[in-house]
Structure 1
Amino acid sequence: MTNDPFAQLVGQRQAIELLTQAVRQNRVAPAYLFVGPDGVGRSLAARCFIELLFSSFVKTQVITSLRNRLRQGNHPALLWVQPTYQYQGQRLTAAEAAEKGLKRKAPPVIRLEQVREITQFLSRPPLEAPRNLVVLEEAQTMAEAAANALLKTLEEPGQATLILIAPTPESVLPTLVSRCQRIPFYSLDTQSLTQVLTQTGHQELLQHQTVLSLASGSPGSAIASYEQLQAIPPELLQNLTKAPSSYRNALELAKKIDHDLDTEAQLWLVDYLQQYYWQQWHQPKIINQLEQARKYLLFYAQPRLVWECTLISLCQINY
């Protein structure tokens, strides 16, 4: 096993160089903003950076133990914050909600209570590390009250470093962005994407061109899309790979989509069908119809009605 924490991170040379030099030169910033597409290694880079930072504080023979603790999120100097749902008085991450089989229409968010917990965490001196580390995944989901509360912490972080992860600087409150050092992440080229999928045991994805196109150079998105693809009933997916043969057929498909898939899966299906239909027919009208369906679903329109209108409109398009 290599001692380079960044050995697993593929295709992000600039980010690796910036973070590595910060540790080597002992110029670690109080706050960083990791910006780039989902699934290209931002969270992995955060773990690698923390490992590099913390490893200078421990003996060589316990590096493996340090890595395991960081991966499990149980290091006393690390707080990893994810967006949550509120359910029966509990906060649940997206993964925890999925385990309980909860179907939620609205996406999870980082809540004011979570930011207050960050402030409480940073009020203690770091244990077993040179500084406390806080990572906020999907920082763009913070409501304004939470973002303003975090701003106070960023102004006086103490013996700590915060890492905010977001898709773009524009998706985060400008006052937060101004207090962070920006670390850019980029979509991977085909060679790097293939390398990551092969290394992680997902070679079968390379045979699914629609999934790869949908991923747009993001290994994480490719894996998530493939898992979502496997969750769609095969018969339903097969029927959707061609235009509805009649209005009745369109209505039956809409009913099945509404019955079998939750909102998140339906939104993914819109993306998948846009890619698939474009590869098959190159008809802008189809893409526009599906884009309209996405907007209606996001605005909580009745899903069955949305799909009925969309699929009926596809009947009227001459392929």
Structure 2
Amino acid sequence: MAVPLRRTLIALHRATCNNLKSADGWVDVRQPHPLVVPVRGKKRHFIPPAVGIKEKTKADPEARARAAGLVFRQQYVERSINISCTAGIFDPYIPPEGDARLSTLSREGLKQRTEQLRQSAASQLAIRKIKEHDPLFNTKTFPELAQDIFIQAHMALTQFNKEKLHSLVTERCYPEMTRGNRLKTIRWSFVESLEPPRVVHARCPDMVTKTNLYGQVTLRMHSRQILALYDRFGRLLLGSEDEPKDVLEYLVMERHVVNPYGRWRLHGKIVPAWAPPKDPITKTVLIPGPKLKPGEDFDALQFEVPKPQSVQWSK
């Protein structure tokens, strides 16, 4: 069996070679190119739209994702709300122009006094609402309590006592008092009261619901204070520790009257439009000194401050 099978294969081989030799004249036989079989990659269910496609809308990606069987996660825009205090001053008090300068016996002073009496009707209604929830509230004793809170809050600010400051000021007033005080030293003291503080305005607004009431009382305080602000190098930026200044302020005290454990805290200040501008802060600049070798001492008397070089600006 092996011999006849071998003869058959040899004959087939010879016939194949003869056919290839005869076809070599008119067929260009070359080495075939390698066969590349594409391999299917990972299937992408959602392909984002290309940039610049016409009539592209926000609903297109969501529609394509739904067609692919995917569900877009809903995005919730949440804002934190604090119910322990309000976000601002409701119906702020408008101080009369020339306050603390005009006498009540003058003509203009009498006009201001009559306007205050006319506007006191809404304040009386607000005071009644506050007394319903806080029976100990009294317009005669409250100014002394508010002034004491004001002094303690500023003393806590100079000592950077955050826990005590949070208990004396509201969450709205805290960032306003602490903004820009980093790496600075504050020296503040209360000298005396030029006029006894008094209540000039009162409101009892509500928030979210009609039963969620807040008491806002505006206090007029005319006092003498000392303020000095130093930078981290000990240079004076503002004020002076030796020269007290007369300060007229309108403080807003607030309390969550519905909360039985609520307390009166400093909520903000009202700055009238006719108030004089504040003193600018003196900016300090670091002057580079000489390079000293180890063991040398700096002599300030012989050191000359280097002057800036003149620069020629070309047009």
- Report the TM-score range of the alignment, normalised by the length of the smaller protein: under 0.3
Instruction: State the TM-score, normalizing by the size of structure 1.
Output: 0.19
Q: Which has the higher strand share?
A: 2
Choose between structure 1 and 2 for higher RCO, CA contacts under 8 A separated by at least 6 residues: 1
So what's the TM-score if we normalise by structure 2? 0.20
